[in-house]
Structure 1
Amino acid sequence: MNPKERILSAINKQGLDKIPCDYWGTQEVTDMLKKHLGVEAELDLWKRLGIDKIINLTPTPLWVPVSPHYVGPSLSANEDIWRVKYAPKVYADGKGVYWEICFNALAGLDTIEEVEANFVFPKADWFDFSTIEEECNRYPNYAIECGYASPLFVYCNLRGMERALMDLVVNKEYAHFVINKICDFFYSFHEKLFESAKGLIDIAEVTDDFGTQTSLLISPEIFDQFFKPHHERLIKLVKDFGIKVFHHDDGAIRLLIPKLIELGIDVLNPIQWKLPGMAPSELKENFGKAVCFHGGVDNQETLPFGKPEDVEREVLYLLETLGSDGTGYILAPCHNIQPITPVENIVALYETVNYYAIL
């Protein structure tokens, strides 16, 4: 099987020659791996490590994406299409850089009238979708992921997290108004995106971060009231185009998983299995027939601070639990591998899955 066949068969819970694996890492880590392995192109890196890489063409329509091309109103430096601004933050003794929010575009606009008078929401016609088909065709043997919709994430970026969460309780009409505007953009953007791809997109994200390290960020009731209808609408759009729905949701989200499955997600990521309620064997038993799991390899302790044998032990554990029936699992780090991670641990991850995951 080639990588695309392997990824899609796992999502469809069909027979496999081996459990597939994916890669998420910061650009610094990718560059470190290329240097360590003596390769120049990322595709050569995936082949060298035996990675069934899901090719993500449009990581997010928050920053100005490479494809589709942004052709809308001019933006200032370090500003996204929502007029949220970012500043670089160096971490890990200079090994890495993250762009953190330094300006929330709606932080000072507390009424619907103020938003309508002072803010312009993005429009789908701010983008040129004409290159999407060509971009997809560049990777004929890989599963293509393109599209990203995240209502709560964008709302928090626009308002600031504290204001956003308070709005859901004390400023509900305002929250509904802004979230509706966000999701109207997501719908029109993705409708044009999928039409332009002409059936070449395999996976798209309808996602959000509803979890914390211990429980949910919002209650199930708040989810139902503010986000469930939008996720349902966006998931239906993805499925109407025959595309698989990838749902990324950090944290301890066990209480929401049945709702997400009811809405129609196909892939659940990142599976932070050390958190409450996220035991892999229980997830597989309760939800393994409904969804494919993606991720699992711990990126908070094992990868950055463990030894290669710890990584090998964890990979085997995940193969025995989330991959227990030989399908419905794509092994990957539970989030972007960070530059504090020893290269030996990353290599051990992929050597282990490629040695032991053959079926």
Structure 2
Amino acid sequence: RKRVLDAINHRQPDRQPVDFGGSAVTGMHVSCVAALRDHYGLEKRLVKVCEPYQMLGLIEDDLKETIGIDVTALMSRTNMFGFENRDWKPWTFNGLEVLVPEDFRVTVEPEKGGILIYPKGDRSACPSGHMPKDGYFFDSIIRQKPIDPDNLDPEDNTEQYTLLTDLQLDAIEADARAVNTGEYAVFASLINTALGDIAFVPGPDLTDPKGVRDVAEWYMLTASRPDVVHKIFERQVEVGIANLEKIHAHVGDAIDVLFLCGTDFGTQTSSFCSVKTFDALWKPHYAALCGWIHKNTTWKIFKHSCGSSERFFESMIEAGIDIINPVQCSAKGMDPKMLKAKYKGRLVFWGGGVDTQQTLPFGAPEEVRKEVLERCEIFSDGGGFVFNSIHNVQAGTPIANMVAMFDAVKEFNGRGN
């Protein structure tokens, strides 16, 4: 825990801290977790799918210790499809048997053979996720009803943003006590403040979503009706701060890092909007959330944004964001040396350790080793870096490359850095 706290406070830690499994954007596909457990000869057990949307696997303490993880997750008990991770049962896909929650209820498409999953496990509702035959994760199914662009009700797009109940708060407090041992840094993903996140716009957790639920329609809405978007964001922030107040009253400083939002602003070569639009539409709402957090807690604020996102970093820093992820160095304008030189001491890089689009899945182990060592050398100087791959480790990644990644971090630490 101290190692992570040093890094995120821009102090040189005793060695390079590592996160895998701390959040839904810093994890591993369940098949990768299973492969690592087998490789290291750990106790034979089925791996739990802790995030069914992306089919991420739970990294338990024995594997954490083996591969050198410094972070533990404090996640909502409810996943992105709106049902709780409890009452586990076996399920097999692509020849791998895993454990899924009781309300993980699916059907198979009669002709194509794809898998359909249902919000809140309710098969009477329209399915909200689809995994192609022989696929490895789910995509959202768009379920938008006809809308009148001139008569939109912002309330229709805020139905999943609700105040936490006493029962939910008691569960958060119990979970925080369980993970807050002092051994690991606590990474919390507890509230939905996803301001325009394309993973949440379709409402995969809702049985009967209202409002604008098509991703393309949403992006057009940000340009055509910013007044409506502002009202949606204002409601999200209002509920978000109210819930943060309740959570803080229950857990206090047990949280070290808070996942704020997963909205992507970068593409491979450009961005989804201009900095001017970001500053006008998103920045005030991020600033309101971050302002409350920094005024009332010791938590550091984690923001996820894929792709060519550097153009937004100054605005994010001004809004109060402390940590950026996944640091997609392969995207345009995301050179690691430039990023470290420009933002050293001002922004923590959580990720960027190895490319998950090319190097990790398709390179040789020595190429993985070389890239990991280079990234650690660049980003670790003066702290401000938590090692993670660039987004989740995907299914099909060779076990030799995953092992090479972890071995390279250990090699770097062994150099006395």
TM over 0.5, yes or no? yes
Query: 2:81–2:120: 8 Å Cα contact kept in structure 1?
Result: yes
CA distance in 2, matches of 1:318, 1:171: 41
Paired residue for 1:133?
173
* Cα distance, 1:174–1:211 mapped onto 2, change above 3 Å: same
Q: How far apart, CA to CA, are the structure 2 residues paired with 1:185 and 1:295?
A: 29
Q: Secondary structure in 2 aligned to 1:188? A: helix
Give the 3 Å change call, closer, same or farther, for CA 104–276 of structure 1 in structure 2. same
Q: Residue 88 of structure 1: which of 97, 117, 130 is its match?
A: 130
Residue of structure 1 in register with 2:208 after alignment: none
Could you list the runs of 5+ residues in structure 2 that have no partner in the other structure? 21-26, 44-58, 86-104, 106-116, 203-211
Superposed counterparts of 1:44-83, under 5 Å:
44-58=62-76, 62-64=80-82, 66=84, 78-79=118-119
**Selected match of 1:146 from 171, 188, 199:** 188
Quick one: structure 1 residues 337 and 117, their matched pair in 2 at CA, closer, same or farther if it must change by over 3 Å? closer
Q: Does 1:25 align with 2:28?
A: yes
- Aligned pairs, number: 346
Q: CA RMSD in A?
A: 3.0
Gaps of 5+ in 1: 68-75
Change over 3 Å in CA distance of 1:137–1:105 after alignment to 2: farther
1-side partners of 2:289 and 2:140: how far apart? 26
The CA distance in 1 between the partners of 2:157 and 2:14, in whole Å, is 56
- Decide whether aligned partners of structure 1 residues 118 and 259 sit closer, same or farther in structure 2, where only a CA change above 3 A counts: closer
Q: CA deviation at 1:109?
A: 5.9
Q: Does the 8 A contact of 1:201 with 1:243 survive in 2?
A: yes
Residue 147 of structure 2 aligns with which residue? 108
Equivalent in the alignment of 1:71: none
Q: 1:59 to 1:276 in 2, by over 3 A?
A: farther
Q: TM-score, normalised by structure 1?
A: 0.86
Query: What TM-score results when the alignment is normalised by the length of structure 2?
Result: 0.75
Amino acid at match of 1:273: C
Pairs within 5 Å for 1:1-359: 4-23=1-20, 24-40=27-43, 42-58=60-76, 62-64=80-82, 66=84, 78-79=118-119, 86-90=128-132, 93-94=134-135, 96=136, 98-104=137-143, 108=147, 110=149, 114=153, 116=155, 120-126=159-165, 128-139=168-179, 140=181, 141-147=183-189, 148=191, 149-153=193-197, 156-157=201-202, 159-207=213-261, 208-239=263-294, 240-296=296-352, 297-325=354-382, 327-357=383-413, 358-359=416-417
CA distance in 1, matches of 2:73, 2:66: 16
SS at match of 1:204: strand
Structure with the bigger percentage of helix: 1
* C-alpha distance after superposition, 1:55-110 (max 9, x if no partner): 2423987443759xxxxxxxx972269x996223147x45x2x2221134576364
8 Å CA contact 1:112, 1:177 repeated in 2: no
The code of the aligned residue for 1:220 comes to V
CA–CA separation in structure 2 for the residues paired with 1:286 and 1:116: 40
Deviation of 1:205 (Å):
1.5
Change (3 A) 1:60 1:19: farther
What is the one-letter code of the residue matched to 1:167?
L
Do 2:12 and 2:381's aligned partners in 1 also have CA atoms closer than 8 Å? Answer: no
**Cα separation, 1, equivalents of 2:300 and 2:77:** 16
Give the deviation of 1:331 after TM superposition: 1.2
Q: Deviations over 1:320-358 (max 9, x none)?
A: 211234x21111111110111001111111111012124
Residues 257-287 of structure 1: per-residue CA shift (max 9 Å, x gap): 1111111222111111111111111111110
Helix, strand or coil for the counterpart of 1:333?
Answer: coil
Question: C-alpha separation between the residues in 1 aligned to 2:231 and 2:2?
Answer: 42
Check conservation: 2:158, 2:235, Cα contact below 8 A: no
Cα distance in 2 for partners of 1:228, 1:203 equals 20
